Amino acid sequence: MNGIHDLGGMHGFGPVKAEANEPVFHATWEGRVFALANLCLGLGFGNIDRFRHAIERLPPATYLTVGYYGRWLAALETLLAEDGVVGPAEIDAREQGKPLPGPAIAAPAPPENVSGAAKRALDAAPRFRSGQLVRARNINPRGHTRLPRYVRGKRGVVARVHPAWVFPDTNAHARGENPQYAYAVRFEAAELWGPEAEAGTAMHVDLFESYLEPASGNE
Amino acid sequence: MSEHEHGPSDRRALRAEALESLLLEKGLVQPETIDAVVRHYEQDVGPMNGAKVVARAWTDPAYKRRLLENGTAAIAELGFGGPQGEHIVVVENTPAVHNVVVCTLCSCYPWPVLGLPPSWYKSPAFRSRVVREPRAVLAEMGLALGPDVAIRVWDSSSEVRYLVLPQRPAGTEGLREAELAAWVNRDSMIGVSQPTPPQDAPRE
């Protein structure tokens, strides 16, 4: 989806501000949320692609203001509600110290044979080779995608052929794993940013095979 | 101002506490397991792991070759691996080429070697700008590179995670591997800094 999370190339966010001696977590709840999300995903509730998409579905203003672990908390709530594990009314009641609405919802048993690993072995050879000229497709899916807007329609060169992975665009929507190769594609800055590009800079973006089409040098 | 300073933190704390207590009641998680995960990422995993990888590569040419060829396997030789480290690619800085890592779509980061990402790495400012004006962003962050140094930005938009192998600083020729590791700060392995003498580098 063309959401606020797809930040590459945007203007207006000001300088990068680093915090000296930053703690891993700034508050106890951040660490708890980090652990809960990892444990729930590890149990097989949701998957990493659904989790990322739940973050992307936050209203843009919320995304920018609740902080990183605030986004994690909201996404975890979304996945647990969608999977019937914990409902928002239960959390509301518990937060306000009230009795739970009706009998406690029994959580479903976690799915079996869960592995967080997303790498898959494919028999087919990669469609593209290192050094090949490619173009990122100009597609605008409403659902989850890992094709950033700033490279859509742009030409680049395959710099590295990665292994095959579960395809996030379908795995986030229970439409199967559809594993496919990923490629580090090198885009020259001028191709992406035109005359305002910085000299001597290039971007490498990891793109799944179905995001790419062959391109020729004289288009 | 960093992101986490915005918004009602207390409300999120209460919400997280309510969610945790419900998950405990339903028997899905145990408090000790939650404590263990938090402790692991606060104490056991962090840039000190990546620093050992870099120091080994600086002192052992055969290890460096393996690291650049198959980062995941070479990093596992030192005992590091796990979530967000399923496939790690190491990119080498040279006098002519400087690498910097970002995740524009979320905040993907090689946890087993660097720990959890700092706030600036997760910030909209870094994620939006470093792909459009990396030279300006690096200079702002204190790393001014000459016009003869090419900059390559790596956007971690798949499950591949990137680690930068910084250049070994001049003047460290006599140092042993363990001493060299103290020069390798977190930011140099993301690509927004150079290695620094230990006294100048508070350990993150």
Whether residue A5 and residue B105 make contact (CB cut-off 8 A), yes or no, is yes
List B residues 185-204 in contact with A (Cβ-Cβ < 8 A).
187, 202, 204
Residue A41 belongs to some domain of the structure: yes
Domain count, chain B: 2
B37 shares a domain with B110: no
H/E segment holding residue B150: strand B150-155
pLDDT at A43: 86
CB contact, 8 Å: A146 with chain B? yes
**Segments forming the whole domain that contains residue A170:** 119-214
Contact criterion met (CB < 8 Å) for B154 and A30? no
**Same domain as B12, residue B90:** no
Specify if B202 maps to a domain: no
Say if B83 falls within a structural domain: yes
Does residue A92 sit in the same domain as residue A179?
no
B99 plus B129 within the same structural domain: yes
Low-confidence ranges of chain A (pLDDT < 50): none
**Residue of B43, B63, B47 whose CA lies nearest to B183:** B47
The ipTM of this complex is: 0.94
* Domain assignment present for B181: yes
In the structure encoding, which two tokens stand for residue B133, read together? Answer: 């004006």
pLDDT digit string, tens, across residues B125-150? 999 999 999 999 999 999 999 999 99
CATH of the domain at A148: 2.30.30.50
Could you tell me if residue A78 is inside a domain? yes
Give residue-wise pLDDT tens across range B146-179. 999 999 999 999 999 999 999 999 999 999 999 9
Active site residues of B: 103, 106-108
Higher pLDDT, A204 or B83: A204
**C-alpha to C-alpha distance for B129 and B200, rounded to whole angstroms:** 27
Q: What is the pLDDT of residue A73?
A: 98
Could you tell me if B56 and B37 lie in one domain? Answer: no
Give pLDDT tens digits for B22-79: 999 999 999 999 999 999 999 999 999 999 999 999 999 999 999 999 999 999 999 9
Closest residue in A to B100 (Cα–Cα): A203
Whether residues B167 and B179 share a domain: the answer is: yes
Same domain, A206 and A127: yes
Q: Which domain holds residue B33?
A: 8-43
Residue of B13, B116, B131 with shortest CB distance to A24: B116
Please say whether the beta carbons of B181 and B130 come within 8 A.
no
Query: How confident is the model at residue B2, as a pLDDT?
Result: 43
Q: Does some domain include residue A37?
A: yes
Q: Are residues A102 and A2 in the same domain?
A: yes
Cβ <8 Å between A206 and B123: no
Do residues A17 and A97 share a domain? yes
> Which residues of chain B does A193 touch, with a Cβ-Cβ cutoff of 8 Å?
132
Beta strands in chain A (DSSP E): 119-120, 133-136, 155-165, 180-188, 201-208, 212-214
B24 and B125 housed in the same domain: no
CB < 8 Å to A199, chain B: 147
DSSP state of B41: I
Do B180 and B81 share a domain, yes or no? Answer: yes
In this structure, the answer to whether residues B110 and B26 fall within a common structural domain is: no
Extract the tokens encoding B145. Answer: 């590179």
Tell me whether residue A112 is in a domain: no
What is the token pair recorded at B60? Answer: 């052992």
Residue of B1, B129, B163 to mutate when probing chain A, most A C-beta within 10 A: B129
Q: What does the alpha-carbon distance between residue B197 and residue A2 come to, in Å, rounded to a whole number?
A: 44
Say which amino acid occupies A83. D
pLDDT of the residue at A156: 98
Task: Clarify whether residues B26 and B107 are in a common domain.
Answer: no
Same domain, B98 and B32: no
Q: Are residues B177 and B91 in the same domain?
A: yes
Do B142 and B161 fall into the same domain?
yes
Beta strand B150-155 pairing with B97-102:
parallel
Residue B190 to chain A, least CA–CA distance (Å): 13
Ramachandran angles phi, psi of B158, nearest 5°: -120, -160
E strand or H helix that includes residue B67: helix B61-69
Does residue B204 fall inside a structural domain? no
Flag if A104 and B26 touch (Cβ within 8 Å). Answer: yes
Best to test chain B binding among A11, A32, A63 (most B CBs inside 10 Å): A32
Residue A95 sits in the same domain as residue A137: no
Return the H-helix or E-strand segment holding B100. strand B97-102
Please report whether residue A114 resides in a domain. Answer: no
Which of A106, A139, A156 terminates a domain? The answer is A106
Instruction: Answer yes or no: is B32 within a domain.
Output: yes
Which one of B105, B143, B151, B163 would you mutate to disrupt binding with A, by most A Cβ within 10 Å of its Cβ?
B105
Is A111 a domain residue? no
Say how far apart CA A104 and CA A55 lie, in whole Å.
27
CA A177 – CA A172 distance, rounded (Å): 9
Is the pLDDT confidence value at B1 over 50? Answer: no
What's residue A99's pLDDT? 83
User: Do A73 and A126 sit in the same domain of this protein?
Assistant: no
| Residues of chain B contacting residue A171, judged by C-beta atoms under 8 Å apart | none
For residue B199, being part of any structural domain is answered with no
SS3 at position B153: strand
pLDDT at site A56: 98
| Integer Cα distance of B20 and A30 in angstroms | 12
Residue A113 counted as domain residue: no
Query: Does A136 contact chain B (CB < 8 Å)?
Result: no
Overall domain count for chain A: 2
Q: Which residues of B touch A184 (CB under 8 A)?
A: 89, 154, 160
Residue B91 is assigned to a structural domain of this protein: yes
Q: Which residue of B has its CA nearest to A88?
A: B19
pLDDT digits (tens, 9 = 90+) for B85-117: 999 999 999 999 999 999 999 999 999 999 999
